[in-house]
Amino acid sequence: MSREEHPVPAWIVMSAGTGGTTATLGRYIRYKRLATRLCGADPEHSAFFEAFDTGNMAATCDRGSRIEGIGRPRVEPSFIPKVIDHMMRVPDEAALAAMRVLSRRLGRRVGGSTGTNFFALCIMASRMKAEGAKGALVTLICDSGERYGHTYYSDDWIAAQGFSLASHERVLDAFLDGWTGLTSP
């Protein structure tokens, strides 16, 4: 990012599968004494948010996440809440809508964990804008969407889950097109 206006990001947004990548990013930020802060994005039905919020490393959920690759029903040993500055729970509908919006804008499919990251990144961008803060935000495209043609990209599958993505997609598109504000889930 050395050629960017803000080469040191204000925020890195990352979801947790086992928590290892998130922990590594957080430890690196602290080791380098960067001004960058780390935001964890956690899907529904994951124990990581509760562990961060309450400090209960024995937190569990009665079912697993519907967003493949991230979120766990129990806290993994590699998850280190103390290196995370902020954490948000991202509703599955919002994550899948963000996945679809980002895919349309990129011209290639991304998966649900990328959608989770992207939704949280948009929330952080909206907050920064409201506060008049400047800086870069960084996240990862962590999964290709090619394998989700019969699930996340299938309108029939979405309906069978009881999801309604259209309003979330409209809000995200409006935000990206005109910087209208977003609110936290």
Q: Which of 88, 80, 85 is nearest to 24 (CA)?
A: 80
**Per-residue pLDDT, 178:** 84
Mean pLDDT over the full length of the chain: 94
Cα-based distances in Å from 111 to 63, 118, 134, 177:
21, 11, 29, 22
pLDDT in tens, 100-137: 999 999 999 999 999 999 999 999 999 999 999 999 99
Question: Do the bridges between strand 37-43 and strand 86-90 make them parallel or antiparallel, or are there none, so unpaired?
Answer: parallel
Map out the domains of the chain as residue ranges. Answer: 11-178
Q: Residues with Cβ < 8 Å from 66, sequence gap 6 or more?
A: 43, 44, 45, 92, 112, 161
Helices marked H in the chain — which ranges? 20-31, 48-54, 92-106, 112-131, 155-160, 166-178
Residue 14: its H or E element? strand 11-15
Q: For domain 11-178, give the CATH number.
A: 3.40.50.1100
Cβ-in-10-Å burial (0-12, 13-18, 19+) of 62 comes to exposed
Res 144 pLDDT > 70: yes
Global pTM value = 0.94
DSSP output for 28-40? HHHHTT-S-EEEE
Q: Residues with Cβ < 8 Å from 100, sequence gap 6 or more?
A: 115, 152, 153, 165, 169
pLDDT in tens, 54-96: 999 999 999 989 999 999 999 999 999 999 999 999 999 999 9
**Per-residue pLDDT, 113:** 96
